[in-house]
Structure 1
Amino acid sequence: MPGEDVDDTFKILIATDIHLGYGEKDAIRGNDSLVAFEEILDNGKKHDVDFILLGGDLFHENKPSRKILHGCLALLRKYCMGDKPIQYEFLSDQSVDFSHCQFPILNHEDQNLNVATPVLSIHGNHDDPTGQGNLCALDLLHTAGFVNYFGKTTSLEKIEISPLLLQKGSTKMALYGLGSIRDERLHRMFLHKNVSMLRPKEDKDDWFNMFVIHQNRAKHGATNYIPEQFLDDFLDLVIWGHEHECRIDPEWNGIQNFYVSQPGSSIATSLSEGETAKKHIGLLQVKGKDFKMTKIPLETVRHLYGSI
């Protein structure tokens, strides 16, 4: 449990698989995803977090409707813009971290924007980059200055994951992100040692290393998933998106010596047993190399019952 010294403690709201736009044409459930998203952003504001971290599939479709895109932008503007001071420093090279973006800069460091609660997000398999320009909806949100989109890779042969380096007081955080890639391809790249995670050059052991990923965690075939053992053992915490079952309480991997937190989806998108569990988001506190994950139940989510 990190101490109460707020000057040295990161407070981060963790959520994933919000699936904005799921069932939007349904007369009853059409706005459920937007309602859940508003509850998430409201929690970020109430808990006065340093930033919100999203683990992919913010949108249910690669090309969200104008209604959903408008609703998303309106909520981000309502809850995340403002003149609240940012309490942490960004230390790494933004031109490298956001090289895939037309504006390679964090929104809260852009002098043209007033951002109170930054949102950082990777893409998922539903809202991944495609087509001309290899763009996705998150590219639009980043260009508009509402979301900081990271973890995008364009190489099909070799991936180098460079961390976002953040510091709050004496606490240093290296935040790694990798947007969704077809599991078979990424599995093969890991086997061939073509995925590497770059580490800070100085004081490597002083950093809290966190990785957000959006892939199959459960085994669906010989190569249709990413084993936890593929990930580097210097990591402290892995935030695992894509899997919809809520297993947000950190689980210890005794082989790799890191914890894995699987927040699960924010709304139910299928009639499966994993979707019947109560939906949660997480309030992550990090001080030094210590962390605590406090799960927050989502109260507006329509519950899916496993049996009648």
Structure 2
Amino acid sequence: MTDQPGTESHDEAVSSSAASKSRRKWLIASISAVLLIVAGGAIYATTGIFGNHDGDTPPNGNGSATPEHCRDSSKDTGVSEPESPPMNGGVEVAEDGVNLAKASDIADVTFGVLVENSSDLVARDVTVKMTLKQKSGPTLRNTDGESVVRKSTIPYVMPGKEFGTGEDVRVPIGEVEDAPSVKTEITVGEWWQPNNDVHEFASISATVTNKQDDPDDHINVTVDSQYCDDAGVAKAGVIFRDSAGKIIYGASGFQASSDTADLISGYAPLKNYKPGKTKNLAMPNFWSISTQGAPGAGFEKQPDWEQTEIFPYADSDKG
């Protein structure tokens, strides 16, 4: 911060009017310079900080201004231990769905699971175990003869928030029925108060921005991170729905990218999410990736891009 100039002391012995005028000119020039610096700083703060906070993309592509709550984030909470499992609520399956594409000898199956933390605590180290079942009960087996059981591990789920995951698999046609289902088991490692002195928990949300463009290999999103500094590794889950709003596929564990180039052939993963909003991040479109080799006429249900949901999270020791 530029110091304000003080009042000049005058030597009573100096009586020259020219000297007095010189001092006054110097004082006026100094004050004017300070005002210009202050004004310039105010303009920068207004256009740079508040503009970015409203969603403008910074020149370097990083996040916008630090979230408001971070200005007072140094207080100790006195919470250093996890809580007992909540008496009310928990992490539960909010919705799931299965999609099918049949051919003469094989079938492709995609499935998605949406879980929700209905408690007022943070669920940490959440494991979602998904088993694909035949309508009559037995577990489906893939083309290698192995039971179709998939696990998705989520670092944490904030209170009242949802997370999407799922998988795709190829099975022999004799294994699949018209209406396979998903059996889901959820385990939670620990329960924590959102504000504590051990783990840093914060919400990260995303808005899909190219829903109507029938995205090929990537989905563009704007991510809003409430972390007070960089949150990484930048990963996400996704849920796809059909025109009726039913879940037809899900995936998780993939990384975002700051480059919207071909995400199928390879791309540079984003290291972390910046505080505030970051526009034009790219998420791999797992629907396009997994269904490119779909047998026969393709899947029974097709995605409605307007209903695509992205669930970003920081896969690191922050949580």
Which has more strand, going by share of residues? 2
- Scaled by the length of structure 2, the TM-score of the pair is 0.24
Structure index of larger Rg:
2
- Scaled by the length of structure 1, the TM-score of the pair is 0.25
Which has more helix, going by share of residues? 1
